[in-house]
Amino acid sequence: MRTLRGMRARIRAAKSIQQITRAMKLVSAARLRRAQDRVLAARPYAQRMHDVLQELGRAGELPDHPLLQKREPRTVGFVLATSDRGLCGSYNMNLIRTQLNTIRDMGLSPQQVQLICVGRRGYQFFSKRDYPIALYRPMPTAGAGLEDARAVADAVQELFINGALDRVYLIYSQFINPVTQRPTVLPLLPIEPPAGEDDGARYDFVFEPSAEQLLARLLPRYLLTEVLQALLEASASEHGARMTAMSMASDNAGKMIQELTLTMNRLRQAAITKEIAEVVGGAEALKG
């Protein structure tokens, strides 16, 4: 039976949950703003890097480089960027589902896959299911930075060059706006000059130093840029998802408090009415 005291306890619980979710929403909003600034500021460099490689690719055959080498994909690596913490709605589950679907669509068995997990959620899911994990790094709550990107890019580069991985993809959440994140699968290695729109321009470049030497510097830099951009996008997406989730949780708690208060008031009213009826009934009986 619902008692008045029980109702009060439930309202109190809902209120303290609402306080927590509200606080988390504010924290996420602050972190989102910072992460968003960083990802937006970093996009031009990544975009320019794309353009440059595209123009170089169109200019003619690129000289040989280990990072350009196309091989039959026997083992495929995936860099999966998730978050360390939960309470961000379906953010991590969407990424994990994208990862699983990608593996399935490529017709790969778990043994043909190597995962490079940034973020504990993805790591926990796949290590429990016995997928080979080549590298695991936590996703910093303050946002991923150059150092994280460098660790991942270096590891991936080494695995690719020594032949442990024949192909590598990035799976991360692209930051569209605070309430929209889009799980994205991006081919990372071997590096293929992006096709993009062909504006018809063909340049006959002069290189300084030689094209080989330049490429040996440019391609690792390109790889690093792609990884960094993905991690920055992932950080901003995570905070956006958490802010949205916490905002909805606060709203739901508010609704629950309203409903519970209404029910409690009805209960109290009923109790008072009953008491009055008893008193009046008693008085009537004495008069009689």
Partner 1 sequence: MREFLLSIVNPERTVLEERVVHVRLPGSEGYFGVMAGHMPFFAQLQYGVGEYRRADGVTRKFTVLGGFAEVLPDRTIVLADGAELADEIDPDRARVALRKALEVLSQPLSEEELAEARLAIERAKARLRAIGEQV
- Within residues 97-126, the interface with partner 1 by CB under 8 A covers none
Which segment (53-61, 81-89, 187-195, 250-258) binds partner 1 by CB under 8 A?
Answer: 53-61
State which H helix or E strand residue 186 sits in.
strand 180-189
- Within residues 143-202, the interface with partner 1 by CB under 8 A covers 146
Is 28 exposed, middle or buried, given 0-12, 13-18 or 19+ CB atoms closer than 10 A? buried
For residue 78, list its beta bridge partners: 115, 169
Instruction: Give the whole-angstrom CA distance, residue 242 versus residue 75.
Output: 34
Contact between 59 and partner 1 by CB under 8 A: the answer reads yes
Q: How far is the CB of 143 from partner 1 (least distance, A)?
A: 13
Contact between 49 and partner 1 by CB under 8 A: the answer reads yes
User: 287 vs 35, 138, 151, 185, 278, CA distance in Å?
Assistant: 78, 80, 91, 85, 14
Q: How far is the CB of 29 from partner 1 (least distance, A)?
A: 22
Contact between 44 and partner 1 by CB under 8 A: the answer reads yes
Give, rounded to a whole angstrom, the gap between the first and last alpha carbons of the chain: 36
User: 74 vs 65, 80, 108, 160, 220, CA distance in Å?
Assistant: 20, 19, 9, 12, 23
Contact between 221 and partner 1 by CB under 8 A: the answer reads yes
Q: How far is the CB of 52 from partner 1 (least distance, A)?
A: 5
Catalytic hit among 76, 81, 88, 243: 88
**Which residues form the interface with partner 1 (CB under 8 A)?**
38, 41-42, 44-45, 48-49, 51-52, 55-56, 59, 146, 203-209, 211, 213-214, 217-218, 221, 225, 228
Active site residues: 88
